[in-house]
Structures are given as structure tokens and as C-alpha cells.
Amino acid sequence: MKELTDSAILKIDNITKIFKLGGLFFGSELAAVDHVSLDVGREKVLSLVGESGSGKTTLSRIILGMIEPTSGRILYEDLDITKLKGRELRRFRKEVQPIFQNPFETFNPFKKVDRYLLGSALSFEIAGSKSEAKKRVSESLDIVDLSYNVVEDKYPHEFSGGELQRVSIARALVTNPRLLIADEPVSMIDASTRMSILNILMGLKRKFDMSIVYITHDLDTAYYVSDQIAVMCRGCVVECGDVEDVLTNPVHPYSQMLLKCLPEPDPEKRWKDQIELAGLEVKEYETAGCKFSKRCPSADKKCLENRPPDTELESKSGYRFVKCWKCAREGV
Amino acid sequence: MNQSIDRLNDVLTTKGLKAYYLVKTLRGGTAAMVHAVDDVSITVHEGEIMGIAGESGCGKSTLAKALYGWVNPPLQIVDGSILYHTGNETIDILQVDADRLRQIWWNVVSYIPQSSMNVLNPTMRIKDQFLNVIKTHKKDYEKEEAEATIVKHIDELGLPREVTTSFPHQLSGGMRQRVVIALATVLDCNVVIADEPTTALDVIVQRGILQLLRKIQRKLNCTIVTITHDMGVHAQIADRVAVMYAGKIVELGPVQKVFGDAQNPYTRFLISSLPKVGDKSKKGSIGGKPPSLVRPPRGCRFSPRCPYVMEICRTTEPGYEEIDTDHFASCHLLG
Amino acid sequence: MAALRRPLSRLAVFLTHGIGITISVIMVISILLLGFVVSNFAPFDPRRWNTAPKDQPPSTDKFIFGTTSIGQDVFWLLTYSIRNSIILGVVGSVVGLAIGGVLGLVAGYKGGMTEKIILTLGDTFIVLPGLPMLILLSTMVKKQLNMFLLGFIIAALTWGMPVRNVRSMVLSLREREFTHTAVFSGFNTLNIIASEYTPHILPWVAASFISRINMAIGMEVTLAIFGLSSLAEGTLGTMIYWALQYNAMLRGLWWWIFAPVGMVVFIVLGFYMLSGGVAEYLNPRTRLYRIATEETKEIESVDRSIE
């Protein structure tokens, strides 16, 4: 994929992750992430969107260093994430922080949550003493609209889901990170509190020049929060670009299908036609060609057998790619 | 409380339903009483799709279980009735014994659970599971007749015939969920209760399920009650929507009214906070969190968070009034 | 006093958690009292032969549990033996659990070669035939055999099992999200194991400690019946040995054999029920539920005081 030159804080370069399933002799291989290259722009929010099995969570864990990729590399600023040790690893941990999906799993149910926040401040030498750490933690909590005495000495179960997720974000902010990796941060949060958390995330970009990778299956929140979007299908990025372009005018048949199936919360816009669904279990991972070809209405023999190339499309920002034979042919 | 008179074509009515969880301490005393469903009265019209919306902890899943008659400790029905009108008779599902309940299940009311894997036996072929269900719930069971019913039903719902001879693991997740829906409706029941039928499913699969539910309503003339927090689902398939908050129904009305012109502040905020592709306007959240169902606040339960709150909201509960044809809402600002 | 109220009330909740726990706690306390308090009041060293008339049946005025064929008072001998058996049980349990537990933690968290080495070592000890090894080792050190040494020998043979159990607990905890949160909050390995994992492992450790006491006592009794335990020290096992040597049952001296056997059964039962009760009480799910309902009650009492 074309690079955004040095306005990218994170460069994902041809990352592949293959999981071996089954036993010693008769196992099979599964490419959860299949030759993915992406750039995360500075002070931008990039959404990684896909259904279950698309590889978006695996990719996020590779970025965070929790899983080792089978091949490829990831560059954070000038560091190669896959080869970090010692002081560089500490710098990476300080500057790249995660936010996980389930706030009640993020924290140990037997531990008071402020210990994580204070611990962060002290471990990464943001603060020299407990009182300094408290001050820093208060600032963090302030960003997410919580006060220290509301959080002090409390166990995770004493919070509601929305509150605890905010504590989780505050924890990530203690070290003043440059890049946040947010894995489905609002999927488990009630609809009425969801937007305040998303607004917080968007505010971080503006106020602190942070970049965010937002992973979700929900196209509506992806549209709301992000600047750029990458749509993943079975381990491959099939379309990426500015969120306005990709979601209001999708080019790849899979993106089009996703948007078609989105239940609009507006009774005036009900679905008129029917769609066909796969019947028996579809083995989409093992395709040599395009991952979506078995379900694609416009697929032909070439699509089934050959991996499509990345076609660049015209766009305002110069960042729009599609992985599709049909689009390559027609030069949309 | 004003209510419309039971019309002849109402298929399900609840009156003043109170279903609480009595959490006992280890020594037998009552530690806490969770007012999950607190004085709920709704009527479901024949042949409609009624959506019950609400966020986590509002009591909608408890309401679903109660409607189905599945009431086990610590859940207790403290007050109220749930009446099914089948044309010949009216049954209060809370008053019947276990045997009668088994007859009612599948024949009068059916239940679609959230996850298909909770229902399908991985070691049996689909056809055998259908036969099992028919044998359990139908009085005079004959194998050939049952097999014919199964085939006819599968065809009617547009599912491929190979499904019946397959094992669950051979089917895709979406197909499994559709099989479960077919299983639930095979004996021509009057009412289907679908509890979060599409949660945790991919969006493409979700559309297939929702299509199927609409088809069932048309072809089998079923009444469907869908319980889900996903407002998009209600917008797509519901005819009327009931919105629950802290154990109470705050608004119930035609789907266009609820989405386009909601009367209750909570409903209005809920609808306006939903993000939509193409809409870049800033959305807000309602501050605070839902109240504890153990000690619900006095007066209106939404008053601690409501931006239009008045003195009376904090002391007196608003009445549940019919403000328009078939449109009920509860708020001191109205009337 | 006020500071003690919380832990004391927690203790009270534990003791009344279920009828099983109450009974087992009473049993264990009476065992400990007999063994460590009452035994000090023996008028003479109960192990010594010919300190009492032989073969006397139990009587209410003189010898409550009767006497043995070698002239010992069964009651005082019993209390003394309980003490020894408990010491032996606790030493065997704690030392084995400590070694196995720590190695299991290291194996689970580190993984790789370290894990493989520790597991192979531990598995070897699991597979070693326990009884022959026990017989062999105790015969080798028979001269210096005392309760502590015997305890250590038992620990040496049984440390393999905790390694596997603790390792598997750590493996599953390592996959939990909060481990990752701790790593991203800058906590080091030791900190993570100590502060994150310990509360999860605690129930198993507590229950295992208690049930291992049973196991150690049982191993000693087996050894003793063969006459291979420390015959100089008095344990419940050696009491049974001497009773068998003198054919107590056949000669009608039922009290001599019933007392130690009955006591072993009583101890094993008491500790078994206690370990089950402790495991259930410390089970994370019931623990969190209890913390939650405690708070509900606090909230309610505060609300009530306001109204």
C-alpha cells in the first residue's frame, strides 16, 4: 500500500499471522491476518472494521505486541515493534496504550482500580512519589469526567459499565500516550452512554494530538468517530480510505454488502429487497483468490483463483485503495 | 392508570405485572429485592411485531421470561397477570401447572433464545430434533405426519431442504439461528417471543434473521415480540415499540411515532443519541447511570438524569396515559 | 476494637456459612486442643512403658480410654500422638505446597525451557511410586527419624502435584485481560504474580493445604503399620502398630485399636470437611457475591438512617 510518507505514526508493513490448528501431524493452517499493510496517520482516527473472523482483533494484538506476527513488520515512529527490547520496549509501552472491550475483564476483580492508575504513573516514571502520582491520575480522570474521590479505594464491581470503561481510558492516558489502540471500546456499553465515551475519544485527538486505532464491527460508530477506515474481510483489507468516501460511497462489493445490511434506526428507511444468505458452512479462509469471492455477486473465475491487487482510486486526500478484480478492470 | 379496553383481536395482555428477584442471604433472610419488572401493562395486537426496547438492566429480559411463563426462583411474580387470548379461551400463563405449561409452550407461545448453540443438540440431526420437539408438545404424534409438517414448514420459510439431514456443526452460524427460529414455530403457535435474536451475530447474518422474522409474521400469521437493545432492529421490523427504563414502560407506540416524535424525554434522548452513517452531527449522551433496581428513586425513575426535571417529578410517579391512538407515554410534561 | 470489627464479622460469616463448616471447625479446634493443650497435662510421659496397669478397659474413674498391653494410658498417649501426627501433617503439607507452588508459578508464567524443565522434574516425582520410596527413605534415616524429618520426606515425595495445579491456574490467568492491563501499566512479573494472581489462587492453596495434611497423616499411618515409622516418637500410626503387634482385637482389647483408628477417622473427616468449606467460601464467585451483598446491606442501613 502506498505510504503516507512521514505523516504516519504507525506503519503496518505486509503483516501476516498464521495460526496452526489441530495436532502435530494432521493440523491445518489459518491465516488470521493475510498480508496487511496500512498506515495510521498522525492525529487521525483510523477505524478497523470487519465482522467476526475478519482478523481485526488479531491485528490489534499484533500492534500492541501481545502476539508475534508470522511475517512482516510494524514501525512505530522509528521503532520496529517486532524487535523491541529494554529501554525501547519501555518507551513503546509508555506511548502506545490499549483500551479493551470489556471493562470488567480489563481490571482484576479483586484489586482496587486506582492501583492500576497510580501504578502506571509510578512505573513509567511520570511521577516520583505517591502524591505526584495522585495528581497525575486526577488529571487523567478529569479528561474522562471523573473525579479522584469517586474512584479512590473502589473495586471494579462498584462501577457501572460506562464508568469503568472511562476509568480504563483514564488508565491509558496516565502515561500521556501518542497512540491508543481501542478494541471495541463501546460494544458492551449501553446506547445512552456510548456517545459520551466516543466523544471523549474524539476529544483526545483534538486536545492531545493523539492518534487512535478504533476497532469495531459497528459501522455507525466507526463513521461517527473516525477520519479514515479500513474494511477487513477474512484477514485482508479489502477497502480503505477516508471514512466519508468509503462509507457513503463504497466500491468493494463486500463494503457495499455491509452497508446494505446495516439496520438503519429509521423506520422510514426500511429494507425493501431480500438478500441471500450462505447455507452450509463456507470455508472462506482457504481461498487462493479473493476472500469474498464465494459470496460475491460479481465474482468470476479469476476472482476465485487469484488474489486481487490493490487498486488506487481517486480521492481528495490521496488515500483510497480497493482490493478487487472488478474495480481493477473498470478503474472506478 | 388509563388503559385501552381489551380489543377482540388482542392476543396477549399483561396487567400490572410485577416480577421481582428476591435475593436471599445465606441464612434465609432477604438481602435485596430487585424490582426488575415494576407494574407493567401492555397489550399486543394479533399479527403485529411488538418490539421491547431498553438498555441493560431495564428489566426487558425478565419481562421476556415472564411472558413465556418461565418463572423460577429467585424470580417471583409479585403481582399481576399475563393473559393469552387464543380465540377459544383466555389463559393466565402465571396460574397454570407444569403439565399445562408444556402444552402451552410451542402451541400457544414459543421462545427463541439468544444463542442457537443453547438450543441445538450437536449430536442429533436437525430433522430428529424437530421430531423430538413435535413429540413433546403435540398431543397425537404420528411420525409421518410430523415429517410432512417439517418439510412444509422448512419450505415455507425458504430454508434449503438439505438442512434437515445435516448436523448443527455443518451449518453456518446464521443458518443455525434460522433453524432455531423454524424449530420454535413448527407447531403453528400464536405468539413468538424472540429474546435478543440477533445480538452477537454479524450484520449480514442479522439481516437474514430479521428477514425471516418478517416472513414468519406474514406467512404464518404469528404475533412476534422482539426484545432487544438494538434500536436499528426495532426500526426495521417492529410495528409498535415499547421502551423500558428501570423496570417500567416509559413509552409505547407505533414505530414511526416513537422514532420520529417521541413524547417521553428518555425515549427522545435515546433516539437522538444513535449514530448513523452520513450524519456527522455531534451526538450527546445522557449523563449519569440508570438507577438501582433495588432501591428505585421516588417519583419518576428518570428524574435524576432528566434535563426537564420539575419538582413534581421527584416526588410523584407520572401516570401511564394514552396520549394518542395506541400511543402511551409516561411523563409529567404531558397533559 | 473498631478496626477489628470488620475481620471479626467476616470470620463470623465464615463460621456460620454452612452447617458443614461450623461442625468441621468445632472438630478441628477440639483436635488441636487435645493435641496441643491437653497433652501438656499428662501426669507422665505417655510413651513410657509400664506406667499404668496393663490391659485395663475404659473406666470412668481411672483410665477413660483404658490402657495398653505395654502399660500405657491410652487417653494421654492419644493426645500426645495427635500432636505428633498434626506436626508431621502440617510440615509435610506446607513444605511440599511451598516448593511445588512456587515452582508451578514460575513454570506457568515463564514458559519455554524453564517450564519444560520444571514440569519434567515434577512429573518424575509424581510418577515415583510413593509407598516404596517412603519406606526406603524412612528406613535409611531410621535412627534420626523425627516428626519434622518425616514431614520433609513426605513433602519431598508430594511436591510434584502442586506444580501442575498451580501452573495450570497461572496459564489461564495469564490469558485474562487484566494480566495485559497490568503489563501495560508497567508492573513487573513479580508484582503481577503477587498482586494479580494470588487472590485467584488463594482458595485452591488454602483447600490444598488442609487436604494435604490428611494425605500426610495417611501416609504416616501406612508407614507405621509396617513398623517403619518412628517407633520412638508416638504417632497415631505407631499406636495402631503396637495394637496390631499385641493382637489387641483378638484379645478383646478393642479400646486400644479403636482409639487411634477412630481418632484418625475423626481428624481426616474434620479436615476434609474444613477444606471443602474453605474452598467453597473462598471461591471467587461466592466471594464477590458476598462483598456485593455486604454493600447492599450497608447502603440500605444508611438509607434507613436517613429516612
**Cβ contacts (< 8 Å) between C287 and chain B: which residues?**
none
Interacting residues of B213 by C-beta distance below 8 A, sequence separation 6+: B49, B181, B194, B197, B224, B226, B237
The average pLDDT across C57-61 equals 79
Smallest Cα distance from A124 to chain C, Å: 6
Number of CB atoms found within 10 A of residue B295's CB? 14
Considering CB atoms only, which of C181, C185, C288 is closest to A109? C288
Chain A (141-180) residues lying within 8 Å, Cβ to Cβ, of chain B: 160-163
Which residue of chain B is at minimal alpha-carbon distance from A269?
Answer: B236
pLDDT of residue A332: 52
The 10s digit of each residue's pLDDT in B241-296 is 999 999 999 999 999 999 999 999 999 999 988 998 888 888 888 878 888 888 88
The rounded distance, in Å, linking the Cα atoms of A99 and A165 is 8
Please determine, for residue B52, whether its predicted confidence score (pLDDT) is greater than 60. Answer: yes
Chain B (225-264) residues lying within 8 Å, Cβ to Cβ, of chain A: 229-236, 255-256, 259-260
Chain A (212-251) residues lying within 8 Å, Cβ to Cβ, of chain B: 217, 219-221, 223-224, 247-248
Residue type, C177: E
Please determine, for residue C14, whether its predicted confidence score (pLDDT) is greater than 90. Answer: no
Smallest Cα distance from B128 to chain A, Å: 18
A183 or B285: which carries more pLDDT confidence?
Answer: A183
Please determine, for residue A211, whether its predicted confidence score (pLDDT) is greater than 80. Answer: yes
Percent of chain C with pLDDT over 70: 89
Which residue of chain A is at minimal alpha-carbon distance from C202?
Answer: A110
Task: Give yes or no for B162 touching A (CB within 8 A).
Answer: yes
Considering CB atoms only, which of C18, C293, C303 is closest to B31? C293
Percent of chain A with pLDDT over 70: 93
Chain-centroid distance of CA C144 in Å reads 24
Interface test with C, best of B21, B22, B25, B34 (most C CBs within 10 A): B25
Interface test with A, best of C177, C184, C189 (most A CBs within 10 A): C184
The rounded distance, in Å, linking the Cα atoms of C264 and C268 is 6
| Residue the block writes with cell 461517527 | A224
Give the CA distances from residue C214 to residues C6, C44, C269, in Å, rounded to whole numbers and listed in that order: 32, 29, 9
The average pLDDT across A308-323 equals 85
Please determine, for residue A116, whether its predicted confidence score (pLDDT) is greater than 50. Answer: yes
> For residues B148, B154, B157 and B163, what is the CA-based torsion angle, rounded to 10 degrees?
-170
Please determine, for residue B2, whether its predicted confidence score (pLDDT) is greater than 50. Answer: no
Smallest Cα distance from C5 to chain B, Å: 20
**Cβ contacts (< 8 Å) between B26 and chain C: which residues?**
13, 17-18
Which residue of chain C is at minimal alpha-carbon distance from A95?
Answer: C184
Please determine, for residue A113, whether its predicted confidence score (pLDDT) is greater than 90. Answer: yes
pLDDT of residue B5: 44
C18-306 topology per CATH? MetI-like fold (1.10.3720)
The 10s digit of each residue's pLDDT in B149-162 is 999 999 888 888 88
The 10s digit of each residue's pLDDT in A123-133 is 988 888 999 99
Beta strand pairing status for B49-53 and A79-80? unpaired
Please determine, for residue C5, whether its predicted confidence score (pLDDT) is greater than 60. Answer: yes
**Cβ contacts (< 8 Å) between B295 and chain C: which residues?**
299-300, 303
Chain A (259-288) residues lying within 8 Å, Cβ to Cβ, of chain C: none
Our count of domains for chain B comes to 1
The rounded distance, in Å, linking the Cα atoms of B176 and A14 is 36
The average pLDDT across C198-207 equals 87
Where are the strands (E) in chain A, listed by range? 8-21, 28-41, 45-50, 71-76, 79-80, 96-99, 179-183, 211-216, 228-233, 236-242, 310-312, 320-323
Residue B314 belongs to domain spanning: 1-97+227-275+283-335
The rounded distance, in Å, linking the Cα atoms of B226 and B192 is 8
The average pLDDT across A296-306 equals 83
Joined together, the cell numbers standing for residue C162 give 502442586
Indicate the pLDDT class of residue C69, thresholds 50, 70 and 90. Answer: confident
The 10s digit of each residue's pLDDT in B210-249 is 989 998 898 888 899 999 999 999 999 999 999 999 999 9
- Mean of pLDDT over chain C: 84
The average pLDDT across A292-318 equals 83
pLDDT of residue A227: 93
Please determine, for residue B6, whether its predicted confidence score (pLDDT) is greater than 50. Answer: no
Smallest Cα distance from C212 to chain B, Å: 29
Selection from B105, B300, B97, B94 nearest residue B186 by Cα: B105
Which residue of chain C is at minimal alpha-carbon distance from B297?
Answer: C303
Beta strand pairing status for A45-50 and B327-330? unpaired
* Highest mean pLDDT (candidates A289-303, B9-23, C162-176): C162-176
Give the CA distances from residue B147 to residues A24, A33, A279, B212, in Å, rounded to whole numbers and listed in that order: 44, 45, 21, 22
Do C177 and A100 lie within an 8 Å CB cutoff? Answer: yes
Please determine, for residue A4, whether its predicted confidence score (pLDDT) is greater than 50. Answer: no
Please determine, for residue A305, whether its predicted confidence score (pLDDT) is greater than 90. Answer: no
Please determine, for residue A67, whether its predicted confidence score (pLDDT) is greater than 80. Answer: yes
The average pLDDT across A228-248 equals 93
Characterize B16-46 residue by residue with b for buried, 16 or more Cβ atoms within 10 angstroms of its Cβ, and e for exposed: ebbbbbebeeeeeeebbbbbbbbbbbbbbeb
Please determine, for residue A279, whether its predicted confidence score (pLDDT) is greater than 80. Answer: no
Size of interface A-C (CB pairs under 8 A): 65
A162 or C283: which carries more pLDDT confidence?
Answer: A162
From C90-104, C135-149, C287-301, the region with the lowest mean pLDDT: C287-301
pLDDT of residue A236: 92
Phi/psi for A302 (5° steps) reads -60, -40
**Cβ contacts (< 8 Å) between A123 and chain C: which residues?**
185-187
Element (H, E) at B156: helix B143-156
The 10s digit of each residue's pLDDT in B69-114 is 988 888 889 899 999 988 788 888 888 888 888 888 888 999 988 7
Task: Give yes or no for C289 touching A (CB within 8 A).
Answer: no
Task: Give yes or no for A279 touching B (CB within 8 A).
Answer: yes
**Cβ contacts (< 8 Å) between B74 and chain C: which residues?**
none
Joined together, the cell numbers standing for residue B27 give 441464612
The average pLDDT across B182-206 equals 88
Do C293 and B294 lie within an 8 Å CB cutoff? Answer: no
pLDDT of residue B252: 95
The average pLDDT across A51-63 equals 91
pLDDT of residue B253: 94
Domain CATH code at residue B10: 3.40.50.300
Considering CB atoms only, which of C178, C185, C195 is closest to A120? C185
The 10s digit of each residue's pLDDT in A186-196 is 988 888 889 99
Q: Per CB distance under 8 Å, which residues of B are interface residues toward C?
A: 23, 25-27, 31-32, 294-295
The rounded distance, in Å, linking the Cα atoms of C236 and C157 is 21
- Structural domain includes residue B239: yes
The rounded distance, in Å, linking the Cα atoms of A242 and B289 is 34
Selection from B130, B132, B117, B17 nearest residue B65 by Cα: B17
Q: What letter does residue B53 receive in the DSSP assignment? A: E
- Structural domain includes residue B322: yes
- Structural domain includes residue B298: yes
Characterize B264-285 residue by residue with b for buried, 16 or more Cβ atoms within 10 angstroms of its Cβ, and e for exposed: bbbbbbbbebbbbbeeeeebeb
